[in-house]
Protein backbone atom coordinates (compact mmCIF):
# COMPACT_ATOMS: atom_id res chain seq x y z
CA UNK A 1 0.00 0.00 0.00
CA UNK A 2 1.45 3.35 -0.96
CA UNK A 3 1.69 6.22 1.48
CA UNK A 4 -1.03 8.71 0.67
CA UNK A 5 -0.96 12.29 1.89
CA UNK A 6 -4.36 13.75 2.70
CA UNK A 7 -3.87 17.23 1.29
CA UNK A 8 -7.50 18.12 1.87
CA UNK A 9 -7.10 17.46 5.58
CA UNK A 10 -3.80 19.34 5.77
CA UNK A 11 -5.13 22.41 3.97
CA UNK A 12 -8.40 22.49 5.94
CA UNK A 13 -6.53 22.03 9.23
CA UNK A 14 -4.05 24.78 8.31
CA UNK A 15 -6.86 27.19 7.46
CA UNK A 16 -8.78 26.24 10.63
CA UNK A 17 -5.71 26.65 12.83
CA UNK A 18 -5.00 30.09 11.44
CA UNK A 19 -8.66 31.12 11.59
CA UNK A 20 -8.33 32.76 8.24
CA UNK A 21 -5.27 32.46 6.10
CA UNK A 22 -3.92 34.83 3.53
CA UNK A 23 -3.85 33.11 0.14
CA UNK A 24 -0.28 34.24 -0.46
CA UNK A 25 0.98 32.47 2.68
CA UNK A 26 -0.94 29.23 2.23
CA UNK A 27 1.67 27.44 0.17
CA UNK A 28 4.75 28.35 2.28
CA UNK A 29 3.03 27.32 5.54
CA UNK A 30 1.72 24.10 4.13
CA UNK A 31 5.03 23.33 2.46
CA UNK A 32 6.75 23.44 5.87
CA UNK A 33 4.24 20.93 7.25
CA UNK A 34 4.70 18.66 4.25
CA UNK A 35 8.52 18.52 4.17
CA UNK A 36 8.68 14.94 5.50
CA UNK A 37 6.48 13.78 2.61
CA UNK A 38 8.10 15.73 -0.21
CA UNK A 39 10.40 12.91 -1.35
CA UNK A 40 7.53 11.05 -2.98
CA UNK A 41 6.19 14.18 -4.70
CA UNK A 42 9.35 15.29 -6.52
CA UNK A 43 7.63 15.03 -9.88
CA UNK A 44 5.11 17.71 -8.90
CA UNK A 45 5.56 21.43 -8.44
CA UNK A 46 4.16 21.21 -4.90
CA UNK A 47 3.12 24.87 -4.68
CA UNK A 48 1.13 24.52 -7.91
CA UNK A 49 -0.30 21.19 -6.72
CA UNK A 50 -1.45 22.66 -3.38
CA UNK A 51 -3.00 25.66 -5.12
CA UNK A 52 -4.94 23.27 -7.35
CA UNK A 53 -6.08 21.34 -4.28
CA UNK A 54 -7.14 24.59 -2.57
CA UNK A 55 -9.09 25.62 -5.70
CA UNK A 56 -10.84 22.26 -5.64
CA UNK A 57 -11.73 22.75 -1.97
CA UNK A 58 -13.19 26.14 -2.85
CA UNK A 59 -15.12 24.68 -5.79
CA UNK A 60 -16.49 21.88 -3.59
CA UNK A 61 -17.58 24.33 -0.90
CA UNK A 62 -15.07 23.51 1.85
CA UNK A 63 -13.22 26.86 1.66
CA UNK A 64 -14.15 30.35 0.62
CA UNK A 65 -12.07 33.31 -0.51
CA UNK A 66 -12.61 36.69 1.06
CA UNK A 67 -10.90 40.03 0.59
CA UNK A 68 -9.80 42.42 3.31
CA UNK A 69 -7.60 45.50 2.83
CA UNK A 70 -6.97 44.41 -0.76
CA UNK A 71 -5.59 41.02 0.28
CA UNK A 72 -7.24 37.69 -0.36
CA UNK A 73 -7.63 35.14 2.38
CA UNK A 74 -9.09 31.66 2.77
CA UNK A 75 -11.52 30.63 5.46
CA UNK A 76 -13.55 27.52 6.21
CA UNK A 77 -17.15 27.25 5.18
CA UNK A 78 -19.70 25.40 7.28
CA UNK A 79 -19.10 22.36 5.06
CA UNK A 80 -15.34 22.67 5.67
CA UNK A 81 -15.87 22.83 9.43
CA UNK A 82 -18.07 19.75 9.22
CA UNK A 83 -15.38 17.86 7.28
CA UNK A 84 -12.81 18.76 9.96
CA UNK A 85 -15.16 17.31 12.60
CA UNK A 86 -15.16 14.06 10.62
CA UNK A 87 -11.36 14.03 10.67
CA UNK A 88 -11.34 14.59 14.44
CA UNK A 89 -13.82 11.76 15.02
CA UNK A 90 -11.73 9.42 12.89
CA UNK A 91 -8.60 10.45 14.79
CA UNK A 92 -10.30 9.66 18.13
CA UNK A 93 -10.99 6.05 17.15
CA UNK A 94 -7.31 5.13 17.25
CA UNK A 95 -6.14 3.14 20.29
CA UNK A 96 -9.63 2.43 21.64
CA UNK A 97 -10.13 -0.90 23.39
CA UNK A 98 -13.25 -2.91 22.62
CA UNK A 99 -15.88 -2.80 25.38
CA UNK A 100 -17.65 -5.96 24.14
CA UNK A 101 -20.58 -4.04 22.61
CA UNK A 102 -21.49 -3.81 18.94
CA UNK A 103 -22.52 -0.57 17.23
CA UNK A 104 -25.12 -1.24 14.58
CA UNK A 105 -26.24 1.22 11.92
CA UNK A 106 -29.32 0.55 9.86
CA UNK A 107 -30.74 2.77 7.18
CA UNK A 108 -33.62 2.99 4.78
CA UNK A 109 -32.88 5.42 1.98
CA UNK A 110 -35.08 5.80 -1.06
CA UNK A 111 -33.95 4.91 -4.56
CA UNK A 112 -34.27 8.55 -5.65
CA UNK A 113 -31.49 9.37 -3.16
CA UNK A 114 -29.23 6.60 -4.47
CA UNK A 115 -26.10 8.79 -4.75
CA UNK A 116 -26.43 9.92 -1.12
CA UNK A 117 -27.08 6.31 -0.07
CA UNK A 118 -23.95 5.19 -1.91
CA UNK A 119 -21.97 7.97 -0.25
CA UNK A 120 -23.28 6.85 3.14
CA UNK A 121 -22.19 3.27 2.45
CA UNK A 122 -18.75 4.43 1.32
CA UNK A 123 -18.27 6.63 4.41
CA UNK A 124 -19.23 3.96 6.94
CA UNK A 125 -17.20 1.32 5.12
CA UNK A 126 -14.16 3.62 5.08
CA UNK A 127 -14.69 4.28 8.78
CA UNK A 128 -14.35 0.54 9.43
CA UNK A 129 -17.90 -0.80 9.53
CA UNK A 130 -18.60 -4.27 8.14
CA UNK A 131 -21.80 -5.02 6.27
CA UNK A 132 -23.94 -7.48 8.22
CA UNK A 133 -26.95 -7.45 5.87
CA UNK A 134 -28.24 -5.27 3.02
CA UNK A 135 -28.62 -1.98 4.92
CA UNK A 136 -27.20 -3.15 8.25
CA UNK A 137 -23.62 -2.34 9.22
CA UNK A 138 -21.71 -3.20 12.38
CA UNK A 139 -18.69 -1.76 14.20
CA UNK A 140 -17.18 -2.60 17.62
CA UNK A 141 -16.27 0.87 18.94
CA UNK A 142 -18.26 3.93 20.05
CA UNK A 143 -19.07 6.06 17.01
CA UNK A 144 -22.32 7.91 17.77
CA UNK A 145 -20.65 11.25 17.04
CA UNK A 146 -19.53 10.04 13.61
CA UNK A 147 -23.04 8.80 12.78
CA UNK A 148 -24.61 12.09 13.92
CA UNK A 149 -22.20 14.00 11.68
CA UNK A 150 -23.11 11.74 8.76
CA UNK A 151 -26.81 12.23 9.39
CA UNK A 152 -26.38 15.99 9.43
CA UNK A 153 -24.00 16.10 6.48
CA UNK A 154 -26.18 13.92 4.28
CA UNK A 155 -29.50 15.30 5.61
CA UNK A 156 -30.86 11.84 6.39
CA UNK A 157 -32.30 12.49 9.86
CA UNK A 158 -34.37 9.54 11.07
CA UNK A 159 -33.56 7.37 8.04
CA UNK A 160 -30.36 6.27 9.77
CA UNK A 161 -30.64 4.47 13.09
CA UNK A 162 -27.77 3.81 15.51
CA UNK A 163 -27.89 1.03 18.10
CA UNK A 164 -25.56 -0.25 20.78
CA UNK A 165 -25.97 -4.01 21.10
CA UNK A 166 -24.68 -5.83 24.18
CA UNK A 167 -25.32 -9.37 22.94
CA UNK A 168 -25.20 -10.63 19.36
CA UNK A 169 -25.56 -14.30 18.58
CA UNK A 170 -23.18 -15.94 16.13
CA UNK A 171 -20.67 -13.07 16.32
CA UNK A 172 -17.55 -15.27 16.16
CA UNK A 173 -16.91 -14.34 12.52
CA UNK A 174 -17.25 -10.64 13.31
CA UNK A 175 -14.82 -10.95 16.18
CA UNK A 176 -12.29 -12.57 13.83
CA UNK A 177 -12.79 -9.88 11.18
CA UNK A 178 -12.18 -7.14 13.75
CA UNK A 179 -9.21 -9.03 15.20
CA UNK A 180 -10.67 -10.06 18.57
CA UNK A 181 -10.38 -13.79 18.39
pLDDT of 171 = 93
pTM: 0.60
Residue 80 contacts residue 62 (beta carbons within 8 Å): yes
> Is the model's pLDDT at 121 over the cut of 80?
yes
Tens digit of each residue's pLDDT (9 = 90 or more) over 2-58: 445 677 777 787 777 776 555 544 545 555 555 555 455 555 566 677 778 888 888
**Domains, the chain, ranges and CATH?**
7-82 (1.10.10.10), 95-177 (3.30.70.240)
Question: Which residues lie across from 105 on neighbouring strands?
Answer: 137, 162
Helix-strand-coil split of the chain, %, nearest 5: 55, 20, 25
pLDDT of 138 = 96
Tens digit of each residue's pLDDT (9 = 90 or more) over 55-70: 888 898 888 888 878 7
> Is the model's pLDDT at 86 over the cut of 60?
yes
Amino acid sequence: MRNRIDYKRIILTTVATAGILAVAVLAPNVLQVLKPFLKQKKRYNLKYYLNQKAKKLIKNGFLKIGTEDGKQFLSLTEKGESKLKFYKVIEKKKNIKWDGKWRVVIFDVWEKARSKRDLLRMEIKNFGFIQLQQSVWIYPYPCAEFIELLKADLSFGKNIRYMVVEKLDHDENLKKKFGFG
